[in-house]
Structure 1
Amino acid sequence: MNQTEQSSVHPDPSTQQPLEERVNNRSHRPDSDAFRAFMAANWAPSTAELPARADVADHAARRRRAISEQFKGERLVIPAGPLKVRSNDCDYRFRPHSAFAHLTGLGVDHEPDAVLILDPTDDGAGDDGGHHHASLYFRPMAGRDTKAFYADSRSGEFWIGRRPSLAEFAALLGLDTADLAELEVAITKNVGEPSVGGISIRLVRKVDENIDALVDTARYNTAQDPDNMDFGALDAKDEKLAEALSELRLIKDAWEIEQMKVAVAATAAGFEEIIKSLPRAVAHHRGERVVEGAFFARAREEGNELGYDTIAAAGNNATILHWNRNTGTVNEGQLLLVDAGVEAESLYTADITRTIPVNGTYSAVQRKIYQAVLDAADAAFAVAVPGRKFRDVHVAAMEVLAAHLQEWGMLPVSAEVALSVDGQQHRRWMPHGTSHHLGLDVHDCAQARAELYLDGVITEGMVFTIEPGLYFKEEDLAIPAEFRGNGVRIEDDILITAEGPVNLSAALPRTPDDVEAWMARLSS
């Protein structure tokens, strides 16, 4: 092979197009001077009217004020996160990090790469008498006289539509706003050891790797002894911020409670669509996908998205706790367990489970299992009152389930022994927890300390689930044959008030008789 032939087979790497630019090879984009000039001309002006201040703005300001109290004198950096690639040059729909959404009030998909910074001030000289001044940094929409307007498929208005301007977001949220181009200086200015007049940073990590790198570099470059930096201590500082932001969401404010009601109402409507879809699901070779699709359509119509991947599990699949492949059939005589939630435009989500008989009527053994789970849920509701411990909800449900399992002859020991710390045999058929907090995340407040979560006191304003279940697998030889292949879970979303729990999802039937009547009505 001569040199010319060799170079045609193995081209000089220095002349090759960078990988990140090759995604544009699939289409030809005009780039002449004449085209650019023509594209920049003759566009109607954008409206100059600023939006009214959003209802959430004052609530978000109070949340920032509460965090400010805990971290005086420190810069707090809360990223929204970047777009995430689904495949090649296609991104997933954007969803900001929940801490960012909570402190700004921004939902939906406005602000990829945005960062909220709480900059320290003198005590009491910050926003609302606090100790920080908040600023939102994001990429403003490119002007129509720029190439990005028509050439940038991730942020150009021609591709993704118009986004609010800096001034519009400032008016909407009651926040100072700034161009993302100024972010590096905003994060790194005056960083250093507090003992010598510098400012320390706390960061919500693992949201945006570019911001992680920027903060880490600033810390290293300004450290008095960078080669002996205690990275464990820095990680602990950042974890403390994540913990505080999570604990801030344990008690919902009035605006959040209304958003939870919106999400629950949309979810209830989605469950009605599931009932209506059952004839088609039974006839389809992947009936679980029919069920999943019926709910998803309502989630997109009335909300932002699903709060989490829907579990649509028929027959033995209902005994698989996180079955969300949803590839199975839906057959007459089976139970169908659906665990689903609509995420509202504000990003607050519901989380509801109902277990229904595919043919509209529970068999005797299905009704027996269902009633046991309902009894456990009702016992949990009874103790979900202000002043009780959060863990009491689970204990109450387990006592009821263990009693039923003993009655059915399934426990190898007494219910009392099973409920002891050294027993727990009943958990073979109910291995998950009975409750979790709910809000911006389906498992909200997950970074909160155990003493405020599992061992926390139930308090007015909390929103959490109650979701006992029993799961009897086909292959489980420890139980009578007639129980096998049936899984039941009943999950409701409750709001704690001074008077006790309010079932936000009460519009969806819970008792077996009511479920059967509901299905008959929707099927007629």
Structure 2
Amino acid sequence: MIKEKEYKGRREKFAKKLQSDSVAIFCAAEQKVRSNDTEYPYRQDSNFYYLTGFKEDNSTLVFVKKNTTYKIYLFVEKKDPVKELWTGKRLGAEKAKELFDVDDVFEIEHFAPKLQEFLEEKNKLYYDFKVKNKLLDQVKLLAKNILYYKDAAKTVETMRLIKSTNEIKLIQKALEITKEAHHKAIQMSQKLSFEYELQAEIEYIFKKNGAYSDAYTSIVASGDNANTLHYIDNNMALNKGDLILIDAGCEYEYYSSDITRTIPVSGKFTKAQKELYQMVLDVEKKIISMMKPNILRSELQNEAEKMLCEGMVKLGILKGSVKKLLKDKVHKKYFPHGIGHYMGLDVHDQNPYKNQKNKEIPLKAGMILTIEPGIYLPEDDKKIPKKYRGIGIRIEDDILVTKEGYENLSKEILKEIKDIESYSSL
């Protein structure tokens, strides 16, 4: 768990980055309507949560800076026994003052008049440009003296690039749960009939272990379905002889895991499946081995594309010079996505890949990225050797960049052919 001391440190770090005579506002996420009077399960805005650890909606965090001094205020929903009967207990301002180390806590109904006071003699306003919130509508009406609007999200999302020890521990916990779920899938694939049954087994493990939210909608794609990168219907039959691409990870205390494994329905890979799988696995292991501080993500991408292209030529999927195929981007038809992405509070963490000068940010110790090469060979592509058609394979791990190089946080999740085949028979 992350304690208030760490959240306070984040707020102070952010406050020091603000310019003089400014106000910065972060709003909690709003409830989202599913249909009529029913709502989706609530999930706090990641930047707001990063600075507060507070999970309630209808809340705001406000920074007020004059010269080099600053004040930080939290606004929360007031206690209301009638509302709480229907939607659950609220912390309230009095209890929030005890728990949060801020300069003051107010009830949200006082937000507009207090904000008007805060904005006096201020000419810069920071807020998250991506967020749409009714409270921000009030802000814009009151911000009559503001000369400069700045995106507060960019500063916080840059801070989020480097994970603390406590953040890494939460991601490791999420991965422990995800490991159990993927291993269960290996054992159950031969016993079930439909993709959604396997999805249910995976997500049961998540929730049984206290990961109440999926980090994203699980992909359980058998056969040719694996060639749709974001396939989430998960409603087709599991057929003997097919592979199943499972991209599934849980969220534990707001921190994500993101793992893909590709396993055989029958428990055994065919010769053609082994050839493709081993090619992808060799690429993944090589790219992971390259990770270290100061290397560029584009270097990892280029090496992955080169290796996959070479592998496809060797297997007869592509024909011609590797150099020319890469130049003409022919290989992208079968490997269209990036080699990986940042991961943390969001499964695709909202962190910058380029700095303010538009230059690529090199890897640094404390970053966590996925590495996920793949190959996708549609069933109806007649240019592909018949034995490979209808096969989609992706292998994905979550990697921490360290001072010495890297640590594969998901290394215990089985991915070697012999290990998957052995485990499936247990």
Does 2:119 correspond to 1:191? yes
C-alpha displacement of 1:206: 4.1
Q: 1:180 is matched with which residue?
A: 108
Q: For the residues of structure 2 that align with 1:69 and 1:431, how far apart are their CA atoms?
A: 41
Q: For the residues of structure 1 that align with 2:207 and 2:357, how far apart are their CA atoms?
A: 34
- Give the alignment of 1:499-514 within 5 angstroms: 499-514=404-419
Does 2:1 correspond to 1:63? no
Q: For the residues of structure 2 that align with 1:293 and 1:431, how far apart are their CA atoms?
A: 29
Contact 1:80–1:207, Cα closer than 8 Å, also in 2:
no
Q: Is 163-172 or 506-515 further displaced after alignment?
A: 163-172
Q: 1:161 is matched with which residue?
A: 88
Q: 1:13 is matched with which residue?
A: none
- Give the alignment of 1:79-478 within 5 angstroms: 79-106=27-54, 110-123=55-68, 125=69, 132-142=70-80, 149-150=81-82, 156-175=83-102, 176-191=104-119, 197-219=121-143, 221-222=144-145, 234=149, 237-238=150-151, 241-282=152-193, 287-301=194-208, 302-345=210-253, 347-420=254-327, 423-447=328-352, 449=354, 455-478=360-383
Q: For the residues of structure 1 that align with 2:423 and 2:237, how far apart are their CA atoms?
A: 23
TM-score, normalised to structure 2's length? Answer: 0.94
Opposite residue 237 of structure 2, the aligned amino acid is T
1:366–1:388 Cα change, 3 Å: same
Q: For the residues of structure 1 that align with 2:370 and 2:43, how far apart are their CA atoms?
A: 23
- Which is strand-richer, 1 or 2? 2
Opposite residue 8 of structure 2, the aligned amino acid is A
Gaps of 5+ in 2: none
C-alpha displacement of 1:100: 0.4
Opposite residue 256 of structure 1, the aligned amino acid is E
Identity of aligned residues (%): 29
Opposite residue 141 of structure 2, the aligned amino acid is T
Q: For the residues of structure 1 that align with 2:358 and 2:6, how far apart are their CA atoms?
A: 23
The alignment covers a number of residue pairs equal to 423
Q: Looking at both structures, which has the greater relative contact order when contacts are Cα pairs under 8 Å and sequence separation is at least 6?
A: 2
Q: Compare CA radii of gyration and give the structure with the larger one.
A: 1
SS of 1:242 mapped into structure 2: helix
C-alpha displacement of 1:400: 1.2
Q: Residue by residue, what CA displacement relative to the aligned partner does 1:83-114 show, whole Å, maximum 9, x if unpaired?
A: 111111111111111100111123xxx41111
C-alpha displacement of 1:269: 1.7
- Which is helix-richer, 1 or 2? 1
TM-score, normalised to structure 1's length? Answer: 0.77
1:514–1:255 Cα change, 3 Å: same
Opposite residue 216 of structure 2, the aligned amino acid is Y
Contact 1:306–1:341, Cα closer than 8 Å, also in 2:
yes
Opposite residue 49 of structure 2, the aligned amino acid is A
C-alpha displacement of 1:190: 4.7
1:468–1:485 Cα change, 3 Å: same
Gaps of 5+ in 1: 1-53, 126-131, 143-148, 151-155, 224-228
Q: Residue by residue, what CA displacement relative to the aligned partner does 1:431-490 show, whole Å, maximum 9, x if unpaired?
A: 000110000111113455367998221111010100000000001122111100100000
Contact 1:206–1:212, Cα closer than 8 Å, also in 2:
no
Q: For the residues of structure 2 that align with 1:411 and 1:95, how far apart are their CA atoms?
A: 45
Q: Residue by residue, what CA displacement relative to the aligned partner does 1:406-440 show, whole Å, maximum 9, x if unpaired?
A: 112232431122223xx211111100001100001
Opposite residue 160 of structure 1, the aligned amino acid is T
Q: Residue by residue, what CA displacement relative to the aligned partner does 1:347-376 show, whole Å, maximum 9, x if unpaired?
A: 110000000001111000001110010011
Contact 2:59–2:77, Cα closer than 8 Å, also in 1:
yes
Q: For the residues of structure 1 that align with 2:383 and 2:288, how far apart are their CA atoms?
A: 30
Contact 1:391–1:454, Cα closer than 8 Å, also in 2:
no
Q: For the residues of structure 2 that align with 1:188 and 1:361, how far apart are their CA atoms?
A: 67
